[in-house]
Amino acid sequence: MKDVLIDRVTKIFGADSSAPFTALHDISLDIKGGEFLSLLGPSGCGKSTLLRCIAGLETPTTGNVLVGGGGARPGFDNIGFVFQGSNLLPWLSVLDNVLYPARVKSRSTVEQYRDRAHELLEQVGLSHVANQRPESLSGGMQQRAGIARGLVMDPDILLMDEPFSALDAMTREELQFELVRLHQETGKTFIFVTHAISEAIFLSSRIAVMEAFPGRISQLIDVEFEYPRTLDLLNSKQAIDIDAAIRASIYGEAKTQAQTDR
Amino acid sequence: MPMRPVILPIISLAVLLLAWELYVWIFAVPSYLLPAPSAIWASGTQIIGAVPIHTWATLFTVLAGFAVSVAVAIPLGVIISVNRLASEAIYPLLVFANAIPVIAVAPIIVVMLGTGIEARLVINFLVCFFPIMVATAAGILDTPKDYLDLGKSTGAGFMTGLLTIRMPHATPFIFSGLKIGITLSVIGAVVGEFITSNRGLGYLIVSSTTNFDLAQAMFSVVVLAFMSVILFQIVQFAQKLWFPWSIKANGMG
């Protein structure tokens, strides 16, 4: 199982412009194989940017992201990416969407992965709509297909950028359970971006709490509940303490920020 | 299927034709000024033997000109949308070329290329390539960033990204361009035939009006209109057949 090593990563947007924006400031983080790590923080804290740096969609201004000892490159087979909207291509069937990462390699790769794609669709409960187009699916089903697509090339690491933020509360809970199950079944490293505290506590084995202006990691919290988890754990003393610690970290800081602004 | 959308326009048309017929009959308008619908029909039946030859001549120019336009305009649209340098270098020229009224350059083209099919093809091309090219470029440029990120995150190179993401996304745009293009192609063919031809519906119109045979000219116009509508429907049908997902995407059937 591959580790992800984030080594002093700084990302400045518009570095040569008159108004450069520091999205990430000197971030170092070691993510172990098989971990379920959440990047949690308010908007503007750079959590998505950090995820995109790991995926190779952004290049750090300084510093490095190392995936399993090598540099993260776009299309690195080791990485699957699940987008915020399901981001399915409307002209492909659900099955062909799941197979898209294989299609990018070659047409013959598609044939190799066809069985696996069917298996994954079975796993996320979408076998019956494999040949339909995404537009006929509900938001939750679309996002399930998005997750299946992220897993199709059997990557060691699955990156998820607020995948449930557009879903209704009930679908969201349902998918959280499924995600934990998938994590247990596959043993892959899951890196999950969210701004929902309870979601992060329920899902993760570790939470990196981030702060904005400039984006940085303010706290690393281990969430030591056994898997499989039930929603009851959110009412436990331990979860309430974690919740409080995260809120203090995020809102306490925001208050200080507001005061210095004044 | 509800019949109303079919029947209503037929009734309106019938009323219009009847009013026209009565007007000509009541005021005894001479047929060299305004032929009655019945006269146009009669004239059509007289020349019916010659109509297929002229229709085919025009149709050939329309289809050949359209084919050349599509073959040039789509790749050109792709190039100017993905390559900044190419876009800056040639787009202004293309806009300028499109701004020239084709009817004005048509006689020049005939002198340069002669009175054969080549001149008519060039005239046709000048009328119909631009909307197809612009539609293609607009479609390519409209590709959502998320789709491009998907390509990037799966390691798609430029060509793979173009073929699997940008072009499919541009398809509904391209078809909008093709629908405009095929209609303009009919106009282009007629302009070409006005200037230089001894065959075709455009030629038939010119030669009929020279003889004040308005009935025959108008009959030719009707045939042209039908040709235009049928070609448009064929493009639409092709889109429905091969790219059904692209119909809803831009809201234009």
In a domain, B146, yes or no: yes
In a domain, B191, yes or no: yes
Overall residue count recorded for chain A in this entry: 262
The reply to whether residue A90 touches residue B245, judged by beta carbons under 8 angstroms, is yes
The reply to whether residue A103 touches residue B164, judged by beta carbons under 8 angstroms, is yes
- Range of the structural domain that residue B122 is part of: 52-249
In a domain, B18, yes or no: no
Question: Which pLDDT score, from 0 to 100, does residue A262 have?
Answer: 41
Q: Which of A91, A104, A135 sits opposite B154 (nearest CB)?
A: A104
**Residue B32, SS3?**
coil
The reply to whether residue A91 touches residue B150, judged by beta carbons under 8 angstroms, is no
Name every chain A residue with its beta carbon within 8 A of the beta carbon of B152: 56-57, 74-75
User: CA gyration radius for chain B?
Assistant: 22
Name every chain B residue with its beta carbon within 8 A of the beta carbon of A101: 154
Alpha carbon B144 to chain centroid, angstroms: 30
In a domain, B29, yes or no: no
Question: Which pLDDT score, from 0 to 100, does residue A260 have?
Answer: 47
Q: Which of A57, A89, A135 sits opposite B149 (nearest CB)?
A: A57
What's the rounded Cα separation, in Å, for the pair A50 and A208? 11
Query: Each residue of A47-68: b (16+ CB within 10 Å) or e?
Result: bbbbbbbbbbbbebbebebbbb
Name every chain A residue with its beta carbon within 8 A of the beta carbon of B164: 100, 103-104
Contact of B245 with chain A, judged by CB distance below 8 Å, is answered with: yes
CATH number at residue B219: 1.10.3720.10
Question: Which pLDDT score, from 0 to 100, does residue B21 have?
Answer: 94
Overall residue count recorded for chain B in this entry: 253
Q: Are A228 and A180 in contact (CB under 8 A)?
A: yes
**Residue A10, SS3?**
strand
Question: Which pLDDT score, from 0 to 100, does residue A20 have?
Answer: 87
Examine residue A228 and say whether the peptide bond preceding it is cis (omega within 30 degrees of 0).
Answer: yes
Q: Which of B146, B160, B249 sits opposite A83 (nearest CB)?
A: B146
Query: For strand A79-82 and strand A36-40, is the pairing parallel, antiparallel, or unpaired?
Result: unpaired
Helix axes B201-210, B51-82, angle to 10 degrees: 130
Q: State the smallest CA–CA distance between residue B138 and chain A in angstroms.
A: 18
Residue type, position A187, single letter: G
- Nearest chain A residue to B167 by CA distance is A91
Number of independent structural domains in chain B? 1
Q: Which of B154, B171, B243 sits opposite A101 (nearest CB)?
A: B154
Name every chain B residue with its beta carbon within 8 A of the beta carbon of A133: 245
- What ipTM was reported for this prediction? 0.88
> Token match 């890196």: residue?
A191
In a domain, B11, yes or no: no
- Nearest chain A residue to B169 by CA distance is A91
Task: Identify the residue among B153, B169, B173, B174 best suited for mutation to test binding to A, counting A beta carbons within 10 A and taking the highest.
Answer: B153
What's the rounded Cα separation, in Å, for the pair A205 and A147? 19
Question: Which pLDDT score, from 0 to 100, does residue B230 have?
Answer: 96
Averaged pLDDT, groups of 10, chain A, 262 residues long: 83 87 92 93 91 91 81 66 93 96 90 94 92 92 94 92 89 91 92 93 94 90 87 87 88 55 43
Name every chain A residue with its beta carbon within 8 A of the beta carbon of B248: 135
Question: Which pLDDT score, from 0 to 100, does residue B253 have?
Answer: 39
The reply to whether residue A75 touches residue B245, judged by beta carbons under 8 angstroms, is no
In a domain, B10, yes or no: no
Contact of B197 with chain A, judged by CB distance below 8 Å, is answered with: no
The reply to whether residue A83 touches residue B149, judged by beta carbons under 8 angstroms, is yes
Helix axes B84-99, B51-82, angle to 10 degrees: 150
pTM: 0.85
- Give which of B120, B146, B147 is closest to B63, Cα–Cα: B120
In a domain, B31, yes or no: no
In a domain, B17, yes or no: no
User: Which residues does residue A27 pair with via DSSP β-bridges, in sequence order?
Assistant: A9
Contact of B96 with chain A, judged by CB distance below 8 Å, is answered with: no
- Give which of B63, B102, B81 is closest to B173, Cα–Cα: B81
Handedness of CA A133, A134, A137, A140 (dihedral sign): positive
| B31 half-sphere exposure, CB direction, 13 A CA radius | 18
What's the rounded Cα separation, in Å, for the pair A250 and A40? 10
Q: Are B139 and B172 in contact (CB under 8 A)?
A: yes
Contact of B246 with chain A, judged by CB distance below 8 Å, is answered with: yes
Task: Identify the residue among B150, B158, B174, B239 best suited for mutation to test binding to A, counting A beta carbons within 10 A and taking the highest.
Answer: B150
- Give which of B9, B36, B48, B17 is closest to B218, Cα–Cα: B36
As given in the structure block, the two tokens for residue B243 are: 């790219």
Start-to-end C-alpha separation, chain B: 17
The reply to whether residue A90 touches residue B249, judged by beta carbons under 8 angstroms, is yes
Backbone φ and ψ for A21, nearest 5 degrees, come out as: -120, 120
- Nearest chain A residue to B154 by CA distance is A75
Task: Identify the residue among B147, B152, B154 best suited for mutation to test binding to A, counting A beta carbons within 10 A and taking the highest.
Answer: B154
Examine residue A214 and say whether the peptide bond preceding it is cis (omega within 30 degrees of 0).
Answer: yes
A174: left (phi over 0), alpha (psi -120 to 50) or beta: alpha
- List chain B residues with pLDDT less than 70: 1, 248-253
Judged by CB atoms within 8 Å, which residues 19-38 of B form the interface with A? none
